Structure 1
């Protein structure tokens, strides 16, 4: 009788409950650690052609310095601090023309982002960060 037990290998039953728990924990981990970014639509509509050629607006160069003063290149426009920029300055700045922001290399990132968001609030739609001021402008 002892030989009957030796010949047949004994099979162990695998519990699926532990496997399901592990899969559930992994699912929760990946769901909580993944980032869900919002996709934005890009407007691909083309403007309608007209008989007259459109006049390209002149690009405005805004110069931001480390002490916070702001000036428009080749203009008399000057602000002691960029936080003073308001809607009353739209007579001196054209919010339909492209704006390139040039900064000194020591300007804080917070100041740059605050100025860019202030320009956005004032409906400057075509604003970009141009880089660092050349040495002769500092």
Structure 2
């Protein structure tokens, strides 16, 4: 056993430090990708106010009645399109005219919001949504 050499110890391999540069590059590219492919939309707000009992001043104008369905819109019994409100009796309303909005079954919040946004163009109206 004299001629045998002891087994050589393996040279220790030193662990390389992990480079953060490539990781930061990948994160930056992902961030850039998502920023460029995302769509940013601005949500509009619809003001709603609760009506108090007897707070409105009496008006000589007759109230208007609007019935909103999932596909229909009727003003005082006449079928009207959402884009044709200006040519209906809603467009010729006097200052302080009350508009009562009744919802048919199945009307979703988006349909009501679309109507309320369209009614913003008629500042003479006092809009009241009837609950059911």
User: What TM-score do you get using the length of structure 1 for normalisation?
Assistant: 0.46
Question: Which structure carries more helix by proportion?
Answer: 1
